[in-house]
Structure 1
Amino acid sequence: MNWMYNFSMKIAELLMPLVALFSSKIRVFWSGRKGVIDAVGDFRKRNPGALIWFHVASLGEYEQAKPLIKALKERNSTHKIAVSFFSPSGFEPAKNKPQKEVDFICYLPLDTPRNASDFVANLKPSYVFFVKYDLWNNFLSELKNKKIPIFLISAAFRQDQLYFRQKGFFRNQIFFFDHIFTQNQESQKLLDGIGFHTHTLAGDTRFDRVWETAQSAQEFPEIYAWTGGKPTFVLGSVWQEDMEILIPLINQNNNYKWIIAPHSMDPKPMEMWQSKLKKPSVYYSNWDTNLPSDILFIDNVGMLSSLYQFARIAYVGGGFGKGLHNILEPLGFGVPVLFGKVHNDRKFPEAKTSHEIGCGFKVKNFEELIGIVESLEDQGNYELAVKAAQTWLAENVGATDRILNVLTRWMGKA
């Protein structure tokens, strides 16, 4: 299996330049990785000493990593922090603005034995953290061979994953880790079931992140003035499938101001949605605040997590498509959140739990959406949902501290 995996990686590496000619996404994916190993080497020549490496798949996992990154940097500011991304949707937004506690960001090269060996040799990490998933066999094997401590944080495993269905190549990747920090007890049971016992139930670091964001949210005085004290509905990371049921709601409901933050910054979907909306709308990037409007399109990246401070109710997109986005961000502000009914909520345990405790609400069509919005307009129902969100957050904050307590065995006070 190992040779088949390496062969497939080599073929992918050879074909990528050709595929990039026909796909803009692959072009960004491929071009961003050119020269990355040399860039790592240049960075380390200028910045020797201890370094902690975090690998994340995309932006959501980077948000999960941030509380631990911040805590480790505060404990010892002399340690450099490097973050690698697999996906352009994570790397591209991160590279375009300062990352306070992070000294270096880059793409992770394709997982060939040569790339793994050269990357690790140039980066020279003292400790390595993978976040939630996105495990790469050759990188893990190289780190293990060099006896560099490897940790997995915010892990949330499922019975149907290959790690637990059969012995061999994929299961072996679990045993490369020195310690795994899980989000839930189910993950612990699955690890015990395959004989991996060096794990700790720490919880989900996203709770720490959303709590921190809620405590120090970015201020937007112009948006505050625009709301004028009127209830505001924030639609975050929405896709076309979400807007198909949200546009009729907006057109017939005059009780709210509406903030719409699309998943993609492609202007075409926003222009299409705007043409179907019956209320006046503006774009944040060229907003004339003197013009009356009920709808504000957020056509840039990086604001959304703080925009939920304005919400009475939030809707988070992606549930009808490839995957639900982060519903914990609005819940961190005590805001009830609606979302499309996901096909497999085992992949999104926060959706299942929020629904069960009464602060998250699944919708599968426009009729259900209307019914839940009307229910939340009852003050009693609304206060129950807010209380459920606040209680859930308070019960789950602290994953970062639990991880740090265990890490002292390897890292001391660093």
Structure 2
Amino acid sequence: MLVYRLVREEGFFQRIKQSIGWLPEDLKHKISDRNAIWIHAASVGEIVAASPIVREMRQEHPDEIIIVSVVTATGFRMAHQIIDGADGILYFPLDLPYFTNRILSIINPKVIVLVETEIWPNFLRIAESKEIPVMMMNGRISNRSASRYRLITFFTRHVLSSIRIFCMQSRIDAQYIISIGADPNKVIVTGNTKYDQTYGKVTEEEKCRLLKELGFAAGTYPIMIAGSTHKGENVPVYKAFAKVKGKFPQARLIIAPRYTYQADLIINEGTTLGITMVKRSDMAAGKTVTEPYDGVILDTIGELGRVYSIGDLIFVGGSLARIGGHNILEPAAHGKPIVVGPNMFNFVEIFELLSSRGACVMVRNEDEFIQTCLDILLDPERAAHMRASCLEIVHENQGATKRNLDELKRLLDTLQLWR
């Protein structure tokens, strides 16, 4: 399997080298022993949260050296696409003492910022031994993860003791982190930096360009988007779209699978239901599409947050399947009616906020999902209310990035490390 990935997976060899502490010479020269601020954002979700943090940090402190580390190849690509202002983007080291010690000695950061909940025991232990302060920003922990960690609280309490401050997204996240061993005196609620992401700012010109690139005529209505879908969710999406298309013959569909390698499988699922889909990657590569199609599989990285801007109804995946849901703030930032399934346990507080104002609807099963999609599109007043509520909620909750950076500044001022 390792040999297969080395041969077939783009960037896998680079990932392995960096994770054992061998950095490219140009990157090493840029960040070695420069007392960088090290921000760790494991994968796509954390990178979205880290993006406004890096952006505002760079604006306020242009002389600081800022690096961002990731774990996955998808995250590495995403970081290069949406994070502006980092002096370097690298893969996080394997959490083994030798490799962790090697990379920390090379970089010698002034502070380490963990985005969301990235708990790496050896990394934290060695950082503490080197007297490198660590803080958590935009902290989040799901009920499922908290339940697992509570089984080893004796261990997590010791690991978490090395973190100076926990800036958590919500009251629920704060309760969870305390329940697994964090010192309550170190835990504060600062909000979710994803509210400060700029994916809500898409110009009309860019929307027209997206429509053209996807082969949708200007004024196409409605466009139904299913984002971050998992196995078992695409068939209900197709069935709902078929009902919508029965009422709106010009309707179009976009499916953005959580795992892009499933694109061909999803196309085949659509074909069995009489729905023709094409891949965004093929269109971007210039492949000619000669036959009419109903929609596009968004099998590219980093586009979904902006593609949501052209949708008229959004389903966020991982919620009909028992995954726990995905980021509903992305479509909310664009002011879009949102539908989710019954499994949103990874985003409880955000869902409850949007749901309480009628901006997001939860359905219990496939039949209810199909009917709800149709009902929203057939009721312009309801759709308009959902759009307005989304925008109001996002606007009301912005500012988390500044609150997180204020805590970082306090920490560095205390240690007299801020430039």
CA displacement, residues 357-385 of structure 1 (integer Å, 9 cap, x when unaligned): 32222234321012212331212222222
- Asked if 2 retains the 8 angstrom alpha-carbon contact of 1:250 and 1:277, the reply is no
Over 3 Å counting, the alpha-carbon distance change for 1:40 and 1:114 in structure 2 is: farther
- Asked if 2 retains the 8 angstrom alpha-carbon contact of 1:345 and 1:352, the reply is no
* Structure 1 counterpart SS, 2:23: helix
Name which of 14, 17, 26 aligns with 1:35: 17
Q: Which amino acid in the other structure matches residue 298 of structure 2?
A: I
The residue that corresponds to 2:41 in the other structure is: 56
CA displacement, residues 185-234 of structure 1 (integer Å, 9 cap, x when unaligned): 2343455665431232110111111xx21124692534435243122111
Deviation of 1:390 after TM superposition, in Å, equals: 1.8
Deviation of 1:94 after TM superposition, in Å, equals: 3.8
Deviation of 1:29 after TM superposition, in Å, equals: 9.7
The residue that corresponds to 1:5 in the other structure is: none
* Aligned-pair Cα RMSD in Å: 3.0
- Asked if 2 retains the 8 angstrom alpha-carbon contact of 1:242 and 1:340, the reply is no
**Length, aligned pairs only:** 392
Supply the distance in 2 between the matched residues of 1:284 and 1:411 (Cα, whole angstroms): 45
Name which of 279, 303, 307 aligns with 1:283: 279
The residue that corresponds to 1:380 in the other structure is: 381
TM-score by length of 1: 0.84
TM-score by length of 2: 0.83
- Asked if 2 retains the 8 angstrom alpha-carbon contact of 1:236 and 1:314, the reply is yes
- Asked if 1 retains the 8 angstrom alpha-carbon contact of 2:267 and 2:276, the reply is no
Supply the distance in 1 between the matched residues of 2:126 and 2:50 (Cα, whole angstroms): 22
Over 3 Å counting, the alpha-carbon distance change for 1:284 and 1:112 in structure 2 is: closer
- Asked if 2 retains the 8 angstrom alpha-carbon contact of 1:265 and 1:299, the reply is yes
Over 3 Å counting, the alpha-carbon distance change for 1:104 and 1:345 in structure 2 is: same
Q: Which amino acid in the other structure matches residue 219 of structure 1?
A: E
Deviation of 1:42 after TM superposition, in Å, equals: 5.7
Q: Which amino acid in the other structure matches residue 111 of structure 2?
A: Y
Are 1:338 and 2:333 matched, yes or no? no
1:7-406 equivalence runs, <5 A = 20=2, 31-36=13-18, 37-39=21-23, 43-48=27-32, 49-94=34-79, 97=81, 99-157=83-141, 160-161=146-147, 164=150, 167-189=153-175, 195-209=183-197, 212-216=198-202, 219-225=206-212, 226-229=216-219, 230-254=221-245, 255=248, 256-266=251-261, 267-287=263-283, 288=288, 292-319=292-319, 320-342=321-343, 345=345, 348-376=348-376, 377-406=378-407
CA displacement, residues 22-70 of structure 1 (integer Å, 9 cap, x when unaligned): 7789988974543211206762334453311111221111111111111
Q: Which amino acid in the other structure matches residue 280 of structure 2?
A: Y
Q: Which amino acid in the other structure matches residue 380 of structure 1?
A: E
With 280-289 and 104-113 compared, the bigger mean Cα shift is at 280-289
Supply the distance in 1 between the matched residues of 2:209 and 2:292 (Cα, whole angstroms): 13
- Asked if 2 retains the 8 angstrom alpha-carbon contact of 1:154 and 1:182, the reply is yes
- Asked if 1 retains the 8 angstrom alpha-carbon contact of 2:70 and 2:76, the reply is yes
CA displacement, residues 142-197 of structure 1 (integer Å, 9 cap, x when unaligned): 11122222110111346744555664221222211111101112343455665431
Unaligned runs of 5+ in 2: none
- Asked if 1 retains the 8 angstrom alpha-carbon contact of 2:12 and 2:73, the reply is no
Q: Which amino acid in the other structure matches residue 309 of structure 2?
A: Q
- Asked if 2 retains the 8 angstrom alpha-carbon contact of 1:232 and 1:257, the reply is yes
Supply the distance in 1 between the matched residues of 2:324 and 2:350 (Cα, whole angstroms): 13
Supply the distance in 1 between the matched residues of 2:159 and 2:252 (Cα, whole angstroms): 49
Unaligned runs of 5+ in 1: 1-18
With 398-407 and 293-302 compared, the bigger mean Cα shift is at 293-302
